[in-house]
C-alpha cells in the first residue's frame, strides 16, 4: 500500500517536472515559488531533489518523522528532525530573516502560529496551491484555518473540535435528556441547580473555556475580516447572548471557575460531580486518565447550537498542521513529507487523535471501538463536529489565549459579569491588532 502511495506522489511530481521542463534547464536550488491556482509546478518550484530538509517538530511528532524515514529509506540522509518549542516559531523566523539563513523547511505548528508567520514581515509559508492537488486539499477538514487570502499555507494534521461530553449514568439517573441547543443547556442548568446542587455542567475560567461559548455563538470578539482588517465588536448581539448564558450558569453555580486541568475542577470530576462539559476532541482521554470516569460512562453529543442557527458552530482547542517554508530548496520532498504524515493509513492506524484528512478519519473510529470508557459510539458526534469548526478559529496574527485568560479571571476576581466586562475586549485587543498592522473595525 505504501509503495503505491509513494509511487502516485512521485508520478505526480515527475509529470509536473516533465511537462513544465521540456526543452528547459534542469532543476535549480533556488528558493520555492508560489504558483497561480491551477498552475503546474516546474523544476524551479520543486527545487533541488538533493537538498536536505530540516523538519521542526515537538517530541510527540518524532514517531511521525521516524515513520516517514522508515518508509522512505532512500531519503534518510536528506531529512533531519529538530525538536523545538513551536511557540518561538514566529520570533525565530524574524531572526532568520535578519541573518538570511537558518529557516527550517517544514514546521509542525497550529494554524494560529502559521497565521503569525504569514505576514509580510515574516513571509515564511509556501503556498501549497498547485503543489498539492486541489482534490486532495478539499479532503482536509479544517483546511479553511490553513487558508489565508486564498493561499493554502498548511495541511491540517489533526482536529480539536469541541463536542459535548456527558456522564451517561448520571444523566439516566437524574432522568435528563442531553440538550441540543444552548437554550436547552441553560434551562437544564436551572434544573440541575435546583434538583442536584453541586453538580457541574462545565467551567468558565480561562481563554479556552471562553472560546467554547463565544465562538459557538459566532461572537466577533476578534474576527479576521481580511489580511489587513480585524473586527472587534463585543457589543455584537452574539457576544451578549454568550455572556448572558455564561453569567447565568456562573450565578446558579453549574459552571466552575477554573481551566479544565485545574486540580479543583478535576477533583469535582473525580468525585462524580461533572454531569457534562464542552471540550475538545482529544479530551476524551482526560476523562479516563484525569477525571477517572468509569468504564461505559462517557457519552459524546454534537456541539450545541443556538436555536435560531441552522447548524452548530464549534470552537477548537488545538489541532495542528504542517507548513512548508517559502525558502525550502527541496520542495518536492518537503511537500511529500507533509502529505504522507497527514494521509498515510498505516501510520494513523490505532490513532487516539482525530485526523483532519477525511479518507482516514474512520481509523480513529476503529481505535475507539475497543475503548471501554464510551457509553455509546462517539463517531457521529466527532465526525460531524469536524465539519463545524468556527471561522473564528482562523486566528489573527497575535495570541488570543493569554489576553482572554486575563479577561475571564479579572471578571471573576472583581465579581463583575462577563456581559458587563465585554467592552474591555476592545481595550485588550485593539492595541494588539494595531501593532500587527490591522485596521480595526466594528463590523
DSSP 234-271: TTSHHHHHHHHHHHHHHHTT-SBSS-TT-HHHHHHHHT
Classify residue 311 as exposed, middle or buried by CB count within 10 Å of its CB (0-12, 13-18, 19+): exposed
CATH superfamily of 2-159+318-367: Periplasmic binding protein-like II (3.40.190.10)
**14 near 353, Cβ under 8 Å?**
no
**230 near 433, Cβ under 8 Å?**
yes
pLDDT digits (tens, 9 = 90+) for 210-257: 999 999 999 999 999 998 999 999 999 999 999 999 999 999 999 999
Residue 306 phi, psi (nearest 5)? -80, 140
162-315+398-441 architecture in CATH?
A: 3-Layer(aba) Sandwich (3.40)
pTM: 0.88
Q: Which residue has the cell 524551479?
A: 44
Count the residues in the chain: 443
Per-residue confidence (pLDDT) for residue 91, from 0 to 100: 96
Per-residue confidence (pLDDT) for residue 370, from 0 to 100: 84
Per-residue confidence (pLDDT) for residue 22, from 0 to 100: 36
pLDDT digits (tens, 9 = 90+) for 349-387: 999 999 999 999 999 999 999 899 999 999 999 999 999
Per-residue confidence (pLDDT) for residue 128, from 0 to 100: 98
H/E segment holding residue 434: helix 424-435
Per-residue confidence (pLDDT) for residue 273, from 0 to 100: 98
129 secondary structure, DSSP code: B
* Whole-number Å distance between alpha carbons of 239 and 213: 9
- Percent of the chain past pLDDT 70, that is, above it, reads 90
Start-end of CATH 3.40.190.10 domains in the chain: 2-159+318-367, 162-315+398-441
* Whole-number Å distance between alpha carbons of 371 and 195: 32
What distances in angstroms separate CA 207 from CA 37, 43, 62, 204, 257, one per listed residue? 37, 45, 29, 8, 12
Per-residue confidence (pLDDT) for residue 417, from 0 to 100: 98
pLDDT, one tens digit for every residue, the chain (443 residues)? 443 344 334 433 433 333 333 333 333 333 454 554 444 555 556 889 999 999 999 999 999 999 999 999 999 999 999 999 999 999 999 999 999 999 999 999 999 999 999 999 999 999 999 999 999 999 999 999 999 989 999 999 999 999 999 999 999 999 999 999 999 999 999 999 999 999 999 999 999 999 999 999 999 999 999 989 999 999 999 999 999 999 999 999 999 999 999 999 999 999 999 999 999 999 999 999 999 999 999 999 999 999 999 999 999 999 999 999 999 999 999 999 999 999 999 999 999 999 999 999 999 999 999 899 999 999 999 999 999 999 999 999 999 999 999 999 999 999 999 999 999 999 999 999 999 999 999 99
Amino acid at each position: 500500500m505504501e509503495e503505491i502511495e509513494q509511487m502516485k506522489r512521485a508520478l505526480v511530481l515527475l509529470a509536473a517536472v516533465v511537462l513544465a521542463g521540456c526543452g528547459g534547464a534542469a532543476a535549480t536550488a533556488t528558493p520555492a515559488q508560489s504558483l497561480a491556482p491551477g498552475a503546474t509546478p516546474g523544476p524551479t518550484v520543486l527545487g533541488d531533489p538533493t537538498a536536505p530538509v530540516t523538519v521542526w517538530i515537538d517530541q510527540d511528532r518524532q514517531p511521525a518523522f521516524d515513520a516517514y524515514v522508515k518508509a522512505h529509506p532512500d531519503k534518510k540522509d536528506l531529512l533531519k528532525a529538530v525538536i523545538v518549542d513551536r511557540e518561538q516559531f514566529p520570533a525565530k523566523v524574524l531572526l532568520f530573516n535578519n541573518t538570511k539563513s537558518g529557516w527550517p523547511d517544514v514546521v509542525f505548528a497550529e494554524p494560529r502560529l502559521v497565521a503569525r508567520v504569514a505576514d509580510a514581515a515574516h513571509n515564511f509559508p509556501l503556498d501549497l496551491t498547485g503543489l498539492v492537488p486541489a482534490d486532495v486539499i478539499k479532503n482536509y477538514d479544517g483546511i479553511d484555518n490553513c487558508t489565508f487570502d486564498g493561499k493554502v499555507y498548511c495541511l491540517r494534521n489533526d482536529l480539536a473540535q469541541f463536542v459535548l461530553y456527558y456522564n451517561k449514568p448520571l444523566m439516566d439517573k437524574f432522568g435528563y435528556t442531553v440538550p441540543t441547543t444552548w437554550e436547552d443547556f441553560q434551562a437544564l442548568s436551572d434544573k440541575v441547580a435546583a434538583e442536584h446542587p453541586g453538580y457541574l455542567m462545565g467551567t468558565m475560567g480561562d481563554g479556552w473555556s471562553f472560546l467554547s461559548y463565544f465562538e459557538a455563538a459566532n461572537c466577533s470578539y476578534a474576527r479576521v475580516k481580511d489580511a489587513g482588517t480585524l473586527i472587534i465588536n463585543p457589543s455584537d448581539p452574539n457576544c451578549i447572548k454568550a455572556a448572558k448564558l455564561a453569567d447565568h450558569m456562573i450565578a446558579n453555580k453549574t459552571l466552575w471557575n477554573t481551566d479544565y486541568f485545574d486540580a479543583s475542577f478535576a477533583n469535582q470530576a473525580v468525585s462524580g460531580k461533572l454531569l457534562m462539559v464542552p471540550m475538545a476532541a482529544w479530551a476524551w482521554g482526560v476523562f479516563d486518565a484525569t477525571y477517572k470516569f468509569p468504564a461505559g460512562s462517557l457519552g459524546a453529543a454534537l456541539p450545541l447550537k443556538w436555536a435560531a442557527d441552522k447548524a452548530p458552530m464549534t470552537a477548537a482547542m488545538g489541532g495542528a498542521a504542517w507548513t512548508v517554508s517559502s525558502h525550502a530548496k527541496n520542495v518536492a520532498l518537503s511537500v511529500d513529507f507533509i502529505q504522507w504524515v497527514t494521509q498515510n493509513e498505516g501510520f494513523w492506524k490505532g490513532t487516539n487523535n482525530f485526523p483532519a484528512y477525511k479518507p482516514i478519519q474512520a481509523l480513529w473510529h476503529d481505535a475507539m471501538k475497543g475503548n471501554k470508557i464510551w457509553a455509546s459510539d462517539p463517531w457521529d458526534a466527532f465526525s460531524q463536529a469536524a465539519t463545524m469548526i468556527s471561522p473564528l478559529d482562523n486566528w489573527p496574527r497575535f495570541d488570543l489565549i493569554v489576553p482572554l485568560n486575563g479577561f475571564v479571571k479579572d471578571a471573576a476576581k472583581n465579581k463583575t459579569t462577563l456581559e458587563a466586562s465585554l467592552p474591555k475586549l476592545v481595550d485588550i485587543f485593539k492595541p494588539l491588532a494595531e501593532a500587527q498592522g490591522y485596521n480595526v473595525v466594528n463590523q
